[in-house]
Structure 1
Amino acid sequence: MNFIQKSIEIKWPALLVEVVFLIGGILLLAAGIKMRKENKVSAAMSIVIGALIICISLYLLFWTIIVGDNA
């Protein structure tokens, strides 16, 4: 537990940016699900892009916390 707390204290700026992208991906995914009935192409693009942003953000969060790489 001490390792995670120390890691968050040191790397909080990078983690904050990654969490903002994660929230943006979740919002994009939710918007795509809501507008599925109105425009199927826009909804599909929104869902796919949102899912990609979520996956990339989770991957970067994992590597930033565990390994310490800020890239």
Structure 2
Amino acid sequence: MADNADDASEMAELHLAASLAKPKVILPPLTGHCFYCHSLTTDRFCDADCRDDYDRDQRRTLMRKRG
């Protein structure tokens, strides 16, 4: 019979395995342009809206690939 410590350890192992199984997000290198709207910028995105839109589109693409 497992006690609370055994149950907690098993849950921790499951969470670790799940987090390691997640795909790594790879962003393209800095180009001087926003990845989403292609306007000039010194960062990957010109503002938080473009960053959020890019992330949303990437998640949608990933969900389509998974079916």
With the shorter chain as reference, the TM-score category is 0.3 to 0.5
TM-score with structure 2 setting the length: 0.33
Bigger radius of gyration: 2
Instruction: Work out which structure has the larger RCO, using CA pairs closer than 8 Å and 6 or more positions apart in sequence.
Output: 1
